[in-house]
Amino acid sequence: MKQKINVLVYGRMPTEKAYGIHALNQAKSFFEQGHDVTLIYPKTNNEKTIHKSISDFYEEDFHFNIHQVDFFDITSLKIYKLSPNFIRMFMWIFSSYIWSLKVRKNIRNSIVWSTNPVVCYVFQKSNKIIFEKHGEGKRLQKLFIKRLNNEACYLIGTTKLSYDELIQVNKQSLYLPNGVDLKKFKPNQFHTKKITVGYAGMLETYGVDKGVYDSVKTMLKIMDEINFNVVIIGGPRNKILEIEKLIQNSKHENNFVIKDRVSQKELANEIQRFDIGIVPYPSNNHMELYASPLKIFEYLASGVIPLVSNLPAHQELDYPGIFYFQKNNFDSFQKELNALLKDSNLNNYKETIINSLESISLKRRSEKILNFMRL
């Protein structure tokens, strides 16, 4: 039966961050299954606001409804920028609560999907709720999560720890890692004799370096013995400049291609050309226990072999073709990458990945959510 589904994002849209892609993908997936879908987000006006339409920024035409809500952007205030972190968090939560009250006036008897527990708390009185937990959450956010304990709420943990925490709040909880758009990210038959190792994504999260710089240092050492190409795509710009400076001082500069952020369409084309995709994330509470990296799924969907740090959130992904190295240990990274570069079975690993793609599809993920809700 056709459902009215509102995908609510309290944050900048469009955005270079992963939450934007995840919300758009989820909205698109629900729409493609025949539901009446609207993506709703607040108008922002701060130094990070991207003054482009969602379609222009992501270079894609979206066929579901997209609605920007006029709202005062508290993050543009000087007092917000100068306040300590805990004050800013309180201000942000209060602002998201007020925004939710404003939007709620026009939304009744629908399904509301969000990764924001404050939004879900406000809407649970007159809607069915899908709350997805994509991070540990601050103390105040955890208080709102605990209030999502009634039968109108369905909670999704993208890692096993998230799920374990959510099921203590509400028995209507589901463990469900990320999924990927298989229409956009797909294997290519493009092959070259020289192996390409790639990374595509943000180079830091919440100010924490993701280990790509140290990976490049290690790959420069390996290049003294093995000839291969490296492609790095991402941002922010200062991190790109650090990597560019590193390789400019080496004798292997011609083996590298470094690019700033690209559109999702171009990103999918670039990842297709990888043979090995790295995810060298460090031991950090968010990344180790609460993050289900979209990057790993994009690599797999493209027939690329992921080489990832052995964080618990990575190791619990039960998909064929993923290789691991010891977290925070770039000697281990060097050993495992060196072995893969010399491995004559790379094409066999890729074939195994390609034969299992349906298990990571965004379509299947959305079907599991709606089946879980008995819709």
Q: How far is CA 220 from CA 136, 217, 238, in A?
A: 35, 5, 20
For position 210, what pLDDT does the model report? 95
Radius of gyration of the chain (CA): 21
Backbone angles phi, psi at 280, to 5 degrees: -90, 40
User: Which contacts of 69-74 are long-range, i.e. CB under 8 A and separated by 24 or more positions?
Assistant: 69/40, 69/41, 69/42, 69/43, 69/99, 69/102, 69/103, 70/43, 71/42, 71/43, 71/99, 71/102, 73/42, 73/43, 73/44, 73/45, 73/46, 73/49
In the chain, the domains with their CATH numbers are: 4-176 (3.40.50.2000), 196-358 (3.40.50.2000)
Q: Name the DSSP class of 289.
A: I
Question: Cβ(333)–Cβ(210) under 8 Å?
Answer: no
pLDDT tens for the chain, 375 residues long, are 899 999 999 999 999 889 999 999 999 999 999 999 999 999 999 999 999 999 999 999 999 999 999 999 999 999 999 999 899 999 999 999 999 999 999 999 999 999 999 999 999 999 999 999 998 888 889 999 999 999 999 999 999 999 999 999 999 999 999 999 999 999 986 566 799 999 999 999 878 899 999 999 999 999 999 999 999 999 999 999 999 999 998 999 999 999 998 888 899 999 999 999 999 999 988 889 998 899 999 999 999 999 999 999 999 998 999 999 999 999 999 999 999 999 999 999 999 999 999 999 999 999 999 999 987
Relative to beta strand 111-114, strand 323-325 is unpaired
**Which pLDDT value is given to residue 187?**
93
Per-residue model confidence (pLDDT) at position 192: 66
Torsion angles phi and psi, residue 111, rounded to 5: -100, 130
Helix axes 212-222, 330-342, angle to 10 degrees: 50
Q: Given the structure tokens 């790109």, which residue do they identify? A: 240
DSSP state of 40: E
Q: What confidence score (pLDDT) does residue 265 get?
A: 87
pLDDT of the residue at 137: 85
Enter the DSSP assignment of 286: I
* Euclidean distance between CA atoms 226 and 228, whole angstroms: 6
Q: Which residues of 6-16 are buried (b: 16+ CB within 10 A; e: fewer)?
A: bbbbbbbbbbe
How much is the pLDDT for 73?
93
User: 3-state DSSP call for residue 36?
Assistant: strand
Tokens 């011609």 found at: 254
Query: Helical H runs in the chain?
Result: 18-32, 54-58, 78-82, 85-104, 117-123, 139-146, 160-167, 212-222, 237-248, 264-272, 285, 294-301, 312-315, 330-342, 346-354, 362-372
d(CA 341, CA 52): 41
